[in-house]
Amino acid sequence: MTVLVSTLAFVLLLSLLILIHEWGHFAAARKFGVVVEEFGFGLPPKMKKIFKQGGTVFTINWIPFGGFVRLKGENALTEKDRRAKGSFGAAPIHGRVTILLAGVFMNLMLALTILTVGFSAAGWIPTYLSYDEMRVAGEAGEINVDFSVLIDSVVGGSNAAISGIPAKSIVRTINGETITFPDDIHSIQEGKSHVTYVVSRIEDGKVLEDTERYSVQLTNGKAGVVIIPFPQNLSAPHRGPVQSLMLALREARVMTSQTVIGIGKLFASLASTGKVPEGISGIIGIAQLTHGAVQEGLTNYLRLVALLSLSLAVLNVLPFPALDGGRLLFVVAEWITRRPVNRTFEMTTNAVGFVVLILLILVITFNDIINLF
């Protein structure tokens, strides 16, 4: 039953993200008088025609993922067909730019809407790329957080290991002084040869209330433990709609930058090693993420929807052939040169770009399958 629910959630997720993207193109095309010849639910081959409205045939297709829109003249080879009334090429430059970016805009709006609701109603915690960012956010009242110090590991054969200090434990005090940040430990131990640690173990992800005391010899002011900041009691204060929107915009900025960095790492890794770097997922990886999010509840699932909607927006706006951003380059080139780009060159470039994208998807999917085992 869980697998069925996760499968349905996965199909719904992809369909929602793609259909709202395509609806953006559809609505913008209608606005600028471009005929939308077909709006397909799912991907070809075609199953059946549902109805026809405003010159658009609405269809259901056999592959149950997302959908597509087919604009009049978008693949026309001759200038006559390209400039025919109601064709994409006949729309003004600003109209074509709007049509191409409308899908990205809709994905961005979906993500911002979900994030704003999540930050205001569900008490979501924003994404922080460092503990320093989280510390500043806590001091600003953006989140509620109490910091402590985690003993991430104990160096083998060190004084701490000899004393029996357990790894994955929280340092409560050293020589009776409360520990909040790693610098506290460094300042307390500096110049000393012996200290007393009071720690609390972590079990099943929870910090135990019970404490344990350890007497530790120091060598050059060090006990032999690897320490990192550890946020405890992390929660969200009450947030109004404006603050939630600001956090949503911040989250979109952070996730966009991370997506761009990830894409850069992907191409760099493929070029240098021929391997997909860790953290890059394809369709199977997304299915796994969806399953995990469904297991954790509706709010986690919705946050995944927002993240993937942002990623889809970023991917589509990249200036790569076959993507919206790549097609936008040809429109901009026409605006600069005052004449359309050679259609054969444009269509060949987009076709090659499409093949490269398919190959890239296959490589990432193969990597997902390898990671399953």
Q: What is the DSSP string of 117-183?
A: HHHHHS-PPPP-SSHHHHHHHHHTTSSEEEEEEEEEEE-TTSHHHHHTPPSSEEEEEETTEE--SHH
- Average pLDDT over the chain, rounded to an integer: 89
Mean per-residue pLDDT, 197-224: 91
- What number does CATH give the domain 144-235? 2.30.42.10
Residue 237 DSSP label: -
State what percent of residues in the chain have pLDDT above 70.
97
pLDDT band, very low/low/confident/very high, at 102 (cuts 50, 70, 90): very high
State what percent of residues in the chain have pLDDT above 90.
55
Gap between the Cα atoms of 41 and 185, Å rounded: 60
User: So what's the pLDDT on residue 3?
Assistant: 66
Mean per-residue pLDDT, 167-174: 94
User: Token pair for residue 151?
Assistant: 């003993």
Write the pLDDT tens digit of every residue in 18-74: 999 999 999 999 999 999 999 999 888 889 999 899 889 999 998 887 889 999 988
Location of structure tokens 């550890």: 230
User: Token pair for residue 46?
Assistant: 């075609």
Contact in structure between 119 and 324 (CB atoms under 8 Å): no
3-class SS of residue 92? coil
User: Token pair for residue 346?
Assistant: 């444009």
User: So what's the pLDDT on residue 291?
Assistant: 66
Q: Which DSSP helix (H) or strand (E) runs through 20?
A: helix 2-31
User: So what's the pLDDT on residue 314?
Assistant: 92
For the chain, domain boundaries = 94-125+246-372, 144-235
Q: Is the pLDDT assigned to residue 184 strictly greater than 90?
A: yes
* Cβ atoms within 10 Å of 222's Cβ, excluding its own: 16
Gap between the Cα atoms of 337 and 273, Å rounded: 40
Q: Is the pLDDT assigned to residue 295 strictly greater than 80?
A: no
Which amino acid belongs to residue 117?
Answer: V
